[in-house]
Chain A
């Protein structure tokens, strides 16, 4: 036997076949400008030299000779820490279409990425390119002859929903006086605050997770939608507060403030309270996130620069990890009832306060607890396909509950109690995952959601986020977002124009509005949002149909 000592272990050297993306570079098209190697956010490609052996002959008589020619090339590195993420920024900048990454379905990335005992972290959402349940649902109850289909372009549609605890009809403090109903001012019944909003909400993405132009662009778009187009779209802040001047502005009413387990940003919010001229749309208490259930928030140090450290009230360049739970609370009564009441009290019970949880089998238990709490304004459930700026890969890929059946079970639980209109359920997580925003939202509403919340879709549609379910890009956690969406580096975020983001956001909502009408009109629905109209939905998969209590079609 040969001695082990002195033997080289070459097993750590990977071939490109192990990599998730392999760079296809064309020698004949490349003009060696170097833009691709400069722009690559992970330095997966480098300029290099290649020596070619060229055999030739010159003169009238064959006289073979071999020469060596040195060629400048673009080379993909074999270092797993600099794996190509498939973002294709190289293709974007290449003037001559000489380079592009190609997905390698046989890659063995996860076998190698968790090195040095540090589990792989990333941004994005669950890596599963198969269609979600929502994308397998069809709208099959079409009004044909027995009732006229409506005209999406001409008829009036009421595409609005309510955010806030709604009193049951029997409890409304109304009394009849001379044949007219009036609100009984002497009644001691608490009328909870309720907002009429657009049924598609922008979900929690924090100021720290997003770059300044991205967050600002979304905020401007939301303000435009509300003020110019009369579409009451609301946007959640995510954990970490908001720019102080927004807290004190009249636009504040279009925003939902999130309080999460790290309580980041709340010093600033509480200080701004006396100067607020408007109440926020709502307060969201984050208990969970679909992308990383049971895990707390995580803003990595690369992103904690001056602005963020000021808003959040923390030093610069430190990892900001929120704990998985609100640690001062030890039970659902503590965590929910007291938090809801405390937050309600801060704004004089004028603002709806609701918890957000990740999709889970225990959602019904939470829901039933909230149903008994007259101050709980809603329940937001974030399914397994939700996105995040930073999480462990294993949390994103393997933890969580799909949103469709979670929503359906919760809604049917409320129906059993007759409370289906009292506690709105907000559905999130993978809405528009395949680009079918309106169809996914409509399906969720018909399964029982009062509204749907979107995050990743917004980033993709308004700023061309590159991330996908083949783990393309997903660099949100590194602060090196090549699109300038999730970075605090001015060199990167100058690639993004906030006004363009705002414009595209408005386009997204206007188009979704048309598509929602195009779905509801043929189903004969226009006067009210078809919440729980499960007879309009079908699935081409018997098991899905059975689980959701809808019809099976083929």
Chain B
């Protein structure tokens, strides 16, 4: 079982806090990788929020190809951040870890956001395809105010490797996953968190309904529904499909992935809609043990469980800073000063949502619909 550590706060903080929380849950990850996803960037990137940030890893040749591709498409690099890598014997160094900030190509900046967002996705996919064959280019996210860093190794060691203690990397939302590699070969694209158009999620669990869901998403005709080196990537895409493609309000994500039984719907004022959704979105019902933690484009953070709550998960904190962790010791590490009695352990009908800026925690109950 992977270990998850997410923190959302009103002030900028270092992702090192997440790594330390992961360290307290160490027995749950085996050093097969760590993924960090930062949103609402601070530190060096505080003034770069308007520029789309492309995060990835490249070989020397790959970087050349990437740069050529981006400039040929009219993207102008504004800033390039590379971690100050400290070589460690336990970690196989790759040539370039980077987040590049770009100015939109001419004529694009004035276009509606939807068009720009589509272009960002299209560009990320094109880059991914460019580097897929020889693995020279790996890209994780291309979006304003979002930065992703992933590598194989122990989280604490990786924090040292990437020089996180230097403190130039900060954000108000950080998702971190310490990977326990299970079913699939270690592959950077299989490493959580996953990202698509402003939505980032990570999961600890095993999605036993993976194959039908993957087939369904891939047949939706949306270019971003690709990849799936991990069965957990579909959770990100289902949230995207539900909220962005179908335009459903956020809580309906829960109704899509773990729908109520027919009799249970009776208590919901929107039961007619639920009944239609139950039929129509049947192929997106998840199964197996899963705890999903993520953020949405507006900065809301959430935790949601599978239909039987087969995985642990804890949410706790104080106004202005909340931690969403796969185990309570992680919350203790991140926010020791909180009132532990107010910690939330979401059960099978619960959907925990923390408003942007970590101001308010809401536990939405699926049976009641509020």
Residue B107 lies at the interface, judged by CB distance under 8 Å to chain A: no
- Choose the segment among A17-25, A85-93, A179-187, A317-325 that binds chain B (4+ C-beta atoms closer than 8 Å): A179-187
Bound CA span A158–B265, Å? 14
Contact status B287-A179, CB under 8 Å = no
Which listed residue (A172, A524, A525) contacts B276, Cβ 8 A? Answer: A172
Contact status A420-B211, CB under 8 Å = no
Contact status A528-B273, CB under 8 Å = no
Contact status A421-B280, CB under 8 Å = yes
In the complex, which residues of chain B have a beta carbon less than 8 angstroms from the beta carbon of A532? 211-212, 215, 283
Closest residue to B205 on the A side, CB-wise? A147
**Which residues of B, 219-240, contact A by the 8 Å Cβ criterion?**
219-221
Residue B108 lies at the interface, judged by CB distance under 8 Å to chain A: no
Residue B288 lies at the interface, judged by CB distance under 8 Å to chain A: yes
Q: Tell whether A524 pairs with B219 under 8 Å between CB atoms, given A167-B276, A535-B211.
A: no
Contact status B211-A525, CB under 8 Å = no
Contact status B208-A174, CB under 8 Å = no
Closest residue to A422 on the B side, CB-wise? B280
Bound CA span A126–B248, Å? 51
Q: Which of B182, B210, B308 has the most CB of A within 10 A?
A: B308
Contact status B273-A174, CB under 8 Å = yes
Residue A531 lies at the interface, judged by CB distance under 8 Å to chain B: yes
Contact status A143-B272, CB under 8 Å = no
Bound CA span A47–B219, Å? 70
Chain A proximity mask over B200-223: 1 for CB below 8 Å, otherwise 0: 000001101111100110011100
Bound CA span A405–B312, Å? 41
Residue B369 lies at the interface, judged by CB distance under 8 Å to chain A: yes
Bound CA span A32–B290, Å? 71
Contact status A525-B279, CB under 8 Å = no
Which listed residue (A147, A169, A194, A533) contacts B281, Cβ 8 A? Answer: A169
Residue A166 lies at the interface, judged by CB distance under 8 Å to chain B: yes
Which listed residue (A158, A194, A531) contacts B279, Cβ 8 A? Answer: A194
Contact status B219-A418, CB under 8 Å = yes
Q: In which size bucket is the chain B interface? A: 35 or more
Contact status B206-A146, CB under 8 Å = yes
In the complex, which residues of chain A have a beta carbon less than 8 angstroms from the beta carbon of B270? 180-182
Bound CA span A252–B184, Å? 51
Bound CA span A534–B219, Å? 16
Contact status B221-A528, CB under 8 Å = no
Q: Tell whether A158 pairs with B261 under 8 Å between CB atoms, given A169-B281, A194-B279.
A: yes
Contact status A176-B280, CB under 8 Å = no
In the complex, which residues of chain B have a beta carbon less than 8 angstroms from the beta carbon of A534? 211
B219 to chain A, nearest CB (A): 4
Contact status B208-A166, CB under 8 Å = no
In the complex, which residues of chain B have a beta carbon less than 8 angstroms from the beta carbon of A150? 308
Contact status A174-B276, CB under 8 Å = yes
Bound CA span A168–B245, Å? 13
Residue A354 lies at the interface, judged by CB distance under 8 Å to chain B: no
Residue B89 lies at the interface, judged by CB distance under 8 Å to chain A: no
Residue A11 lies at the interface, judged by CB distance under 8 Å to chain B: no
In the complex, which residues of chain A have a beta carbon less than 8 angstroms from the beta carbon of B276? 167, 172, 174, 183, 191
In the complex, which residues of chain B have a beta carbon less than 8 angstroms from the beta carbon of A180? 249, 269-270, 273, 369
Residue B258 lies at the interface, judged by CB distance under 8 Å to chain A: yes
Contact status B208-A168, CB under 8 Å = no
Q: Tell whether A531 pairs with B252 under 8 Å between CB atoms, given A155-B308, A182-B272, A526-B308.
A: no
Q: In which size bucket is the chain A interface? A: 35 or more
Closest residue to B271 on the A side, CB-wise? A183
Residue B289 lies at the interface, judged by CB distance under 8 Å to chain A: yes
In the complex, which residues of chain B have a beta carbon less than 8 angstroms from the beta carbon of A179? 249, 251
Bound CA span A127–B221, Å? 45
Closest residue to B180 on the A side, CB-wise? A146
In the complex, which residues of chain A have a beta carbon less than 8 angstroms from the beta carbon of B216? 415, 418, 420-421
Residue A9 lies at the interface, judged by CB distance under 8 Å to chain B: no
Contact status B246-A527, CB under 8 Å = no
In the complex, which residues of chain B have a beta carbon less than 8 angstroms from the beta carbon of A533? 208-209, 211-212
Closest residue to B210 on the A side, CB-wise? A535
Residue A148 lies at the interface, judged by CB distance under 8 Å to chain B: yes
Residue B310 lies at the interface, judged by CB distance under 8 Å to chain A: yes
Closest residue to A145 on the B side, CB-wise? B182
A165 to chain B, nearest CB (A): 10
Q: Which of A141, A147, A421, A524 has the most CB of B within 10 A?
A: A147
A424 to chain B, nearest CB (A): 10
**Which residues of A, 418-451, contact B by the 8 Å Cβ criterion?**
418, 420-421
Closest residue to A531 on the B side, CB-wise? B212
Closest residue to A147 on the B side, CB-wise? B206
Which listed residue (B182, B258, B282) contacts A421, Cβ 8 A? Answer: B282
Residue A170 lies at the interface, judged by CB distance under 8 Å to chain B: yes
In the complex, which residues of chain A have a beta carbon less than 8 angstroms from the beta carbon of B55? none
B236 to chain A, nearest CB (A): 17
Contact status B283-A421, CB under 8 Å = yes
A449 to chain B, nearest CB (A): 13
Contact status A196-B282, CB under 8 Å = no
Residue B78 lies at the interface, judged by CB distance under 8 Å to chain A: no
Contact status B249-A168, CB under 8 Å = no
Bound CA span A394–B363, Å? 65
Contact status A146-B183, CB under 8 Å = yes
Residue A12 lies at the interface, judged by CB distance under 8 Å to chain B: no
Chain B proximity mask over A504-539: 1 for CB below 8 Å, otherwise 0: 000000000000000000011111101111110000
Contact status B221-A418, CB under 8 Å = yes
Residue A162 lies at the interface, judged by CB distance under 8 Å to chain B: yes
Bound CA span A524–B258, Å? 14
Which listed residue (B205, B249, B285) contacts A181, Cβ 8 A? Answer: B249
Residue A69 lies at the interface, judged by CB distance under 8 Å to chain B: no
Residue B22 lies at the interface, judged by CB distance under 8 Å to chain A: no
Bound CA span A533–B308, Å? 20
A145 to chain B, nearest CB (A): 9
B179 to chain A, nearest CB (A): 13
Contact status B307-A148, CB under 8 Å = no
Contact status A183-B283, CB under 8 Å = no
Chain A proximity mask over B179-202: 1 for CB below 8 Å, otherwise 0: 000110000000000000000000
Q: Tell whether A162 pairs with B249 under 8 Å between CB atoms, given A147-B289, A182-B270, A528-B209.
A: no
Residue A331 lies at the interface, judged by CB distance under 8 Å to chain B: no
Q: Which of B209, B258, B306 has the most CB of A within 10 A?
A: B209
In the complex, 7 of the A-B residue pairs with CB atoms within 8 angstroms, ordered by the A residue number, are A148-B310, A179-B249, A194-B279, A524-B287, A527-B308, A530-B287, A534-B211
Q: Sorted from nearest, which 3 A-B pairs have the closest CB atoms? A: A147-B206, A524-B208, A418-B219
20 more contacts with CB within 8 A, not counting A420-B283, A525-B209, A532-B283, are: A143-B288, A146-B183, A147-B205, A147-B310, A155-B308, A166-B279, A166-B282, A179-B249, A181-B274, A182-B272, A183-B276, A418-B221, A421-B280, A524-B208, A524-B287, A525-B287, A528-B282, A530-B209, A531-B282, A532-B211
